[in-house]
Amino acid sequence: MEEYLEFAKKLAKEAEEIALKYFSFEVDSTWKENNTPLTKADTEINDLVIQRINKIYPSHSIYGEERNDKKEGSKYIWVCDPIDGTMPFSCGLPMFTFSLALVDQSDGQPILGIVNDPVMKKMYWAYKGSGAYRNSKKISVSKNTTLHNTYLNTDDVIIGFSKTELLKTLREKGVNVIELLSIIYGGIQIANGKFIGTVFYGKYGHDVAALKIITEEAGGKVTDLNGNKRRYDEDGLGCIVSNGILHRELLNIVQTGKL
């Protein structure tokens, strides 16, 4: 794991250089079919990840947001979101991250994860059994036992659920709900001890694979929207990421919006 970790950290710093090269108030972008923006940074970083992994670990597969390189029979797959938060990135807003996870394809579970914030120079990382870290400082989830006076991050991609009841109930309980247009940027704050949860309504594994391992190594809990285990090397039913203590309460609230 230490070898994989050092490789992932070095790759994250290379990705950081590309992201910052393009980051400005005049970022050029195009639109994908799903009505989300695409920048040169997204594609260059995704291509960089494939090149580096194929050179060092040629038997490993790659699942990237913009491009994949999957190999039949591979034990491991690297799951990457080159720029999570492309919407704020494309507007010159500093709320985006690079995310990379190493997933064991025997069960679809991440065994290592990196989330790098290029602007704030904060790298969050963990591997199985290591604990979770921000740069070199060990971090842990909050100890909140109630939802009152807390923060929660969510997004606006709906798959079989309505957010109406979620937002109504959370706000009644005193939760400050934030939509940062980057599920990883907000989601990493659970492991960082700042937010008590994230509700992710999307399906893609690259949005949550690194969050899974880092959050759980920080003492939190991650399930799909129905409270079940999911794989992170393929599409799934969203995610609830929490400090663990409030997971059941958040799950019950999410379920009220099930269609």
User: Percent of the chain at pLDDT above 70?
Assistant: 100
Domain layout of the chain by residue ranges: 2-139, 150-255
User: Residue 33: its pLDDT value, please?
Assistant: 80
In which residue ranges of the chain is pLDDT below 70? 157
Rounded-to-integer distance, Cα 112 and Cα 185, Å: 18
User: Residue 259: its pLDDT value, please?
Assistant: 82
Residue 184, exposed/middle/buried by CB under 10 A (0-12, 13-18, 19+)? buried
Q: What is the fold, at CATH topology level, of the domain defined by 2-139?
A: Fructose-1,6-Bisphosphatase; Chain A, domain 1 (3.30.540)
User: Residue 26: its pLDDT value, please?
Assistant: 80
Model pTM greater than 0.85? yes
Domain 150-255 sits in CATH at 3.40.190.80
Alpha-carbon dihedral angle through residues 237, 240, 244, 248, given to the nearest 10 degrees: -80
- Rounded to a whole number of angstroms, the CA Rg of the chain reads 17
Q: Do the domains at 2-139 and 150-255 have one common CATH topology?
A: no
